[in-house]
């Protein structure tokens, strides 16, 4: 068991002070994963309520998630005096939740939340340091001018991001894509923390084109490209990004993760895997 004091922002110093710096090994714990939940795992429920243990085991998950969001503001932010403008930060939270799975747009975040653009980076840093969000960098080839450089914003749990939006009903169709993509990202991050799944994780999106690939895993000089879709019947349009990345040097596998029941291989070698079969490959180390 590991126990540690929480990092605090040193007053007036403008940075986080770690009381255990140099005296502890960093280990991350993630929301419950499918292999940890066993027969209790239900993807539909996880995408709605998340899998943070205290939430997942609660008899009334919506009430517990709502309480979690309020407690975060009161205990983590207000009590620790992490921001000067608590109402502004409270307005920022649901706006940032709407950017789940999207490239960070500081100007858009600032405008929609009604705060200064310079304030947004500080608020995002607080969310990251309190383990609510993480950032997925863009893949950068040697010719960096051809690649986007802005990271994507992901919340660490589907239930938490929905609680911050005050949307705890059945996920709407327009929510499901980002929720599933975020869950797959969490699965990949967890396996990296627990088992060293990859050397680097990024997304691929050349600036000169509109296609992108959700995740690009690098192991040494080898790559695995992963695209996530909520469709139950993959069609040619769903393979566009994976076909656009086909010429990347070192690319060994291209995988389309979908919500259907049948795995199959496309004529050009792209693997289409149902989401739970993909999860089994990740958890078993076969990916």
Confidence of residue 209 (pLDDT cuts 50, 70, 90): low
Residue 223, CA distances (Å) to 37, 66, 76, 250 in order: 29, 40, 39, 6
Closest CA to 27 of 53, 54, 52, 1: 1
CA distances from 40 to 32, 36, 46 (A): 11, 9, 10
Asked if the model's pLDDT at residue 3 lies above 80, the reply is no
Q: φ and ψ at 171, to 5 degrees?
A: -55, 135
Complete domains list, the chain, with CATH: 40-171 (1.10.10), 175-287 (3.40.1350.10)
pTM of the model: 0.90
Percent pLDDT > 90 in the chain is: 82
Out of 123-127, 140-144, 154-158, 193-197, pick the least confident: 140-144
Number of CB atoms found within 10 A of residue 29's CB? 11
The 10s digit of each residue's pLDDT in 228-280 is 999 999 999 999 999 999 999 999 999 999 999 999 999 999 999 999 999 99
Answer yes or no: is pLDDT of 155 > 50.
yes
- Where do runs of H (alpha helix) occur along the chain? 34-37, 43-49, 53-56, 61-71, 86-98, 106-113, 117-129, 158-164, 173-195, 240-244, 275-284
Report pLDDT digits (tens) over 16-56: 455 556 666 677 899 999 999 999 999 999 999 999 999 99
Q: pLDDT band for 4, please (50, 70, 90 cuts).
A: very low
**pLDDT (mean) for 148-173:** 93
Distance CA 41, CA 37 (A): 5
* Dist. CA 125–CA 55, nearest whole Å: 24
Q: Over 90: is that where the pLDDT of 210 sits?
A: no
**Predicted local distance difference test score (pLDDT) of residue 23:** 65
CA distance 46 to 158: 7
pLDDT reported for residue 7? 47
| Confidence grade of residue 206 (pLDDT, cut at 50, 70, 90) | confident
């Amino acid at each position: 068991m590991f126990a540690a004091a929480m990092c605090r922002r040193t007053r007036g110093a403008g940075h986080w002070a770690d009381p255990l710096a140099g005296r502890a090994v960093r280990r991350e714990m993630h929301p419950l994963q499918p292999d940890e939940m066993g027969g209790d795992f239900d993807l539909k429920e996880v995408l709605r309520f998340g899998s943070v243990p205290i939430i997942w085991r609660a008899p009334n998950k919506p009430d517990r998630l709502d309480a979690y969001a309020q407690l975060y503001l009161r205990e983590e932010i207000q009590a620790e005096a992490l921001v000067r403008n608590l109402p502004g930060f409270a307005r920022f939270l649901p706006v940032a939740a709407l950017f789940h799975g999207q490239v960070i747009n500081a100007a858009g975040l600032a405008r929609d939340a009604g705060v200064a653009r310079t304030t947004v980076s500080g608020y995002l840093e607080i969310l990251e340091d309190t383990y609510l969000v993480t950032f997925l960098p863009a893949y950068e080839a040697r010719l960096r001018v051809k690649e986007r450089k802005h990271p994507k914003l992901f919340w660490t749990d589907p239930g938490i991001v929905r609680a911050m939006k005050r949307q705890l009903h059945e996920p709407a169709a327009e929510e499901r894509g980002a929720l599933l993509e975020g869950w797959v990202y969490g699965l990949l991050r967890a396996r990296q923390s627990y088992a060293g799944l990859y050397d680097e994780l990024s997304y691929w999106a050349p600036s000169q084109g509109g296609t992108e690939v959700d995740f690009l895993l690098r192991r040494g000089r080898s790559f695995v490209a992963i695209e996530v879709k909520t469709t139950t019947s993959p069609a040619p349009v769903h393979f566009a990004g994976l076909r656009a990345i086909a010429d990347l040097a070192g690319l060994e596998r291209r995988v389309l993760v979908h919500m259907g029941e049948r795995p199959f291989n496309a004529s050009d070698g792209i693997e289409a895997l149902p989401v739970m079969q993909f999860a089994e490959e990740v958890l078993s180390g076969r990916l």
